[in-house]
C-alpha cells in the first residue's frame, strides 16, 4: 500500500509528521478518510479525534477544530488546539477539569464565565475522547 504524508500542526508545535497508511478526520461535512493519491480537498475540521492508521498501529489525537488540506501528496492539518491522546495523564486531566469547574462556579463576570465555560468544554471533550 502506498503511503501518505501527514502533518498535524498546532499553534504551539508540530505534533505529528510522517508517512502513514490513512488519516481519518472529523470534517465539517462529516468524518472522512484520506489515503495516498487522494483527490485534492480543503475542509474545515470540527473538534474531535484524528485517527492516524499505519499498519496495525493507530494513533489518536484530539483536535479542537482547524483546517485540513488534502492533496495527492499528503494531508496537512492546521489545528486550533491539539493533544496526543496517548500522552495524556488522565489523573492530571481530571484535576484540571475539577479546577476549571471550580473556576466556572467562582466566575464573577461574563468574561471569566465564558473563559471558564470554554475550558470546561475543552477538557470534557479531551477526557471523553
Q: In whole angstroms, what is the distance from residue 124 CA to residue 101 CA?
A: 10
For the record, the C-alpha cell of 104 comes out as 466556572
Beta carbons of 51 and 32 less than 8 angstroms apart: no
- The pLDDT tens digits of the residues spanning 48-101 come to 999 999 999 999 999 999 999 998 889 999 998 888 888 888 888 888 888 888
pLDDT of residue 95: 86
Q: Which CATH number fits domain 4-85: 2.60.15.10, 2.10.109.10, 1.10.10.10, 2.60.120.700?
A: 2.60.15.10
At 118, the pLDDT band (50, 70, 90 cuts) reads confident
Residue 1 has pLDDT above 80, yes or no: no
Specify the range with the lowest mean pLDDT, choosing from 3-7, 33-37, 47-51, 103-107.
Answer: 103-107
pLDDT of residue 39: 87
- The pLDDT tens digits of the residues spanning 13-52 come to 899 999 999 999 999 889 999 988 888 999 999 999 999 9
Q: 68 versus 125: which is more confidently predicted?
A: 68
Beta carbons of 3 and 36 less than 8 angstroms apart: yes
Q: In whole angstroms, what is the distance from residue 47 CA to residue 64 CA?
A: 4
Q: Which class for 56: exposed (0-12), middle (13-18), buried (19 or more C-beta within 10 A)?
A: exposed
Domain residue limits, the chain: 4-85, 89-128
Q: Which residues contact 102 (CB under 8 A, 6 or more apart)?
A: none
Amino acid at each position: 500500500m502506498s503511503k501518505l504524508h501527514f502533518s498535524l500542526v498546532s499553534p504551539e508545535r508540530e505534533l505529528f509528521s510522517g508517512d502513514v497508511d490513512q488519516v481519518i478526520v472529523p470534517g465539517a461535512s462529516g468524518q472522512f478518510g484520506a489515503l495516498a493519491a487522494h483527490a485534492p480537498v480543503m475542509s474545515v475540521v470540527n473538534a474531535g479525534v484524528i485517527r492516524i492508521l499505519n499498519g496495525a498501529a493507530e494513533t489518536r489525537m484530539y483536535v479542537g477544530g482547524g483546517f485540513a488540506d488534502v492533496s495527492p501528496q499528503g494531508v496537512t492539518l492546521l489545528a486550533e488546539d491539539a493533544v496526543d491522546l496517548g500522552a495524556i495523564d488522565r489523573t492530571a486531566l481530571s484535576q484540571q477539569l475539577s479546577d476549571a469547574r471550580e473556576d466556572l462556579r467562582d466566575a464573577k463576570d461574563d468574561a471569566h464565565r465564558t473563559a471558564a465555560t470554554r475550558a470546561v468544554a475543552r477538557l470534557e471533550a479531551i477526557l471523553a475522547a
